[in-house]
Amino acid sequence: MSDATTHLLLPYILAAQAQKHVTHNEALRILDGLVQLSVLDRDLTAPPGSPADGDRYIVGSGATGDWAGWDLNVALWTDGAWLRLPPRTGWRAWVEDEGLLLVYDGAGWVGTTPAALQNMALLGLGTTADASNPFSAKLNAALWTAKTVAEGGTGDLFYTMNKEAAGDDLGLTLQTGFVTKALVGLFGSDRFRLAVSADGSIFFDGLSVDNATGIVDQPRLPRFKAWTNYDNYVASEPGRRSVSTTRITTIRARSTPRTTTSWRQSTAPTSSARRCSTRSTPAPRPACAGGSC
């Protein structure tokens, strides 16, 4: 039979042992030092000058003086002397000057906060994540900054979003009071789209970019088509006494058949919504507003 317990190395009181109280008190000192273990520091390599009874330290590597050879052991100051407590795998210690919980893994004291989090099912910051929103955050500001070259990075920062197929949706949803007001991204195709909504159910495309050609389309941009040989005023808001109008001027340069259309905004009464010049003009040619014919 061993003279001490396996894990805490508490001494046994042996049969017919003299001064049993000495052995018993030694076991109590060890228990007092190890139960709810909390150390003042884990970096010192030499004993402090004026320790208080009950002070505990994790001895740093390369220890000297009374701690020589005690690297990574727990040093307990009790009854005017240092008591060495060799750690066992699984021991936990709170480091008071760092506010850090450590665990002994058999080779050293390591932090209980993992350096990497992999394959987590849910993560909530300031709120509760669920199956529909496995990552949820409730906060007022967020920062993404590039890892600098000095830190071993490139200085660049890319935020990548990916969808499985062209017919799927990929984008940002912008809401007010959890009612969607705008969508930005690739929805139902690989064309880039910006769509807005007043009620979150009916959406209008304000901008669309063809990913194959780069051609930009503005589906809701006001436009009209007309055949004209004259300077005409076309009211943009018919029925008002004074309206903002668009003037269409068709010019034929020399003998070239090309027609040039110029635009000018003006204000004119409704009665002047259509105004024609009396000069003779060539045969009618098409003119389009807001785009080519």
Eight-class DSSP state of 206: E
Asked if 92 contacts 102 with a C-beta cutoff of 8 angstroms, the reply is: yes
Asked if 45 contacts 67 with a C-beta cutoff of 8 angstroms, the reply is: yes
Most confident of 9-13, 59-63, 259-263: 59-63
CB count within 10 Å of CB 245 equals 23
Q: Nearest Cα to 59, choosing from 36, 85, 23, 78? A: 85
DSSP secondary structure string for all residues of 260-292: EEEEEEEEEEGGGSS----S---S-EEEESSS-
Q: Nearest Cα to 192, choosing from 173, 206, 205, 211? A: 211
What's the chain's length in residues?
Answer: 293
Asked if 93 contacts 102 with a C-beta cutoff of 8 angstroms, the reply is: yes
64 phi and psi angles, rounded to 5 deg: -130, 175
Helix, strand or coil, per DSSP, at residue 24: helix
pLDDT of residue 262: 41
Instruction: Give the mean pLDDT of 36-45.
Output: 96
**Could you give the CA distance from residue 25 to residue 165 in angstroms, rounded to a whole number?**
73
Domain assignments of the chain as residue spans, ordered by start? 36-111, 169-217, 225-288
**Could you give the CA distance from residue 83 to residue 104 in angstroms, rounded to a whole number?**
19
Handedness of CA 64, 87, 50, 48 (dihedral sign): positive
In this model, does residue 144 exceed pLDDT 80? yes
Label residue 76 exposed, middle or buried (CB < 10 Å: 0-12, 13-18, 19+).
buried
Question: Beta strand 179-187 with 169-176: parallel, antiparallel or unpaired?
Answer: antiparallel
Instruction: Give the mean pLDDT of 128-145.
Output: 97
Residue 89 contacts by C-beta under 8 Å, 6 or more apart in sequence? 104, 105, 106
In this model, does residue 276 exceed pLDDT 90? no
Q: How confident is the model at residue 232 (pLDDT cuts 50, 70, 90)?
A: low
pLDDT of residue 231: 64
In this model, does residue 261 exceed pLDDT 80? no
Helix, strand or coil, per DSSP, at residue 114: coil
In this model, does residue 138 exceed pLDDT 90? yes
**Could you give the CA distance from residue 285 to residue 227 in angstroms, rounded to a whole number?**
6
Residue 70 contacts by C-beta under 8 Å, 6 or more apart in sequence? 59, 63, 84
